[in-house]
Amino acid sequence: MSSLEVSRFSPTRLMDAFQHRMPGVLICITIALATTFIADHYGGPTLLYALLFGMTLHFLSEEGRCLAGVEFSARTILRLGVALLGVRITIEEVAELGVGPVLTVVCGVAFTIAFGAVMARLLKLDRDMGLLTGGSVAICGASAALALSAVMPRNATQERNTIMTVAGVTTLSTLAMITYPLIVGVLGLSDTEAGIFLGGTIHDVAQVVGAGYMISQDTGDVSTFVKLLRVAMLVPAVMVFMFLFRRERQEEGGDQKVPMLPSFLVAFVVLVIINSLGWIPPLVVDGFTEMSRWCLVIAIAALGIKTSFQKLAVVGWKPVILMVAETLFLLLLVLVFIQTGLVSL
């Protein structure tokens, strides 16, 4: 290691970086604590609360003391939270679902992302918005939006698109948690079919769990496994996004080489493998899962701080139509798989 590299990691430099970022990070942590308390005691989606609280403090993003910590939270802490999602998945759980549910999830993710890109073009929105919203709706809501945006080129609209996507899918996921169990009753789906339907269509993990166990224990178990399979699709999705945006990210970084696999994605895969081998004790899994949740709440608070209501107003109603259309497309696609018996393969 060269003397320059050693100096980068010297105690003095690390302490200076820590002190430089701490004010902004503490603000984001404070928002996370407040919104978690509100969600736990009064109900509602924590991520959406964190986003809205952060947006009310947008002025902090223009103030020198907090800017570095907010940037650190929106980027580094975000990637740590996504990486830790790997402890929630095991290869054995995915294999137990059988071919049918796996095929349903893979087709649902691929077709919904493609539909988002096409629909965005029809609405005269940029392709990035269609891909981001499609991936968010298809995979795991706000978490997917944050993970996918982390490997997309950073430009004037990227953060605004991310905020719109997080707010939209969180709201739609909450509505789905309430309405989709009613659809299950109307269609007379079995517990297994209901679990595949809920796990394959509702955006966020928490809402899937709530809707599934609202019906029955078996439905809740199946819906959770199917949802975690969708979370696992985050790996190939991020890889595809890295390939699609590789040239743009290289141009953005000048001569700096852009890695094909981001470190947080590698960590995600490693944690899935280690957890599948049974090397992570259940207590540690619970701890990492909770840490992941906190990291994502802190990151979305930071993204909220970086975004203003005025900038969101410029976007208009088209992104809302886009996300609603993607949600309905995924809903109908999964129902087709269930009604045709493909989920029983």
Contact criterion met (CB below 8 Å) for 204 and 142:
yes
pLDDT at residue 36, as a whole number = 92
Model confidence over 261-282: pLDDT tens digits? Answer: 567 777 888 898 999 899 999 9
Counting Cα atoms < 13 Å in the Cβ hemisphere of 64 gives 0
Q: Whole-prediction pTM value?
A: 0.74
pLDDT at residue 212, as a whole number = 84
pLDDT at residue 4, as a whole number = 45
Most confident of 113-122, 270-279, 293-302, 333-342: 113-122
Model confidence over 118-167: pLDDT tens digits? Answer: 999 999 998 889 999 999 999 988 888 888 888 888 776 778 888 888 88
Model confidence over 32-63: pLDDT tens digits? Answer: 999 999 989 988 778 778 888 988 898 887 76
Alpha helices (H) in the chain, listed in sequence order: 3-8, 11-42, 46-56, 64-72, 78-84, 91-96, 99-122, 127-138, 142-149, 158-187, 191-201, 205-215, 217-232, 234-244, 246-252, 263-276, 282-305, 309-315, 318-339
Task: Pick left, alpha or beta for residue 280 (phi over 0 → left; psi -120 to 50 → alpha; otherwise beta).
Answer: beta
**Among residues 32, 30, 28, 17, which one has the least CA distance to residue 61?**
28
Model confidence over 160-212: pLDDT tens digits? Answer: 888 888 888 888 887 888 789 889 999 999 998 999 999 999 987 767 877 88
**220 vs 326, higher pLDDT:** 326
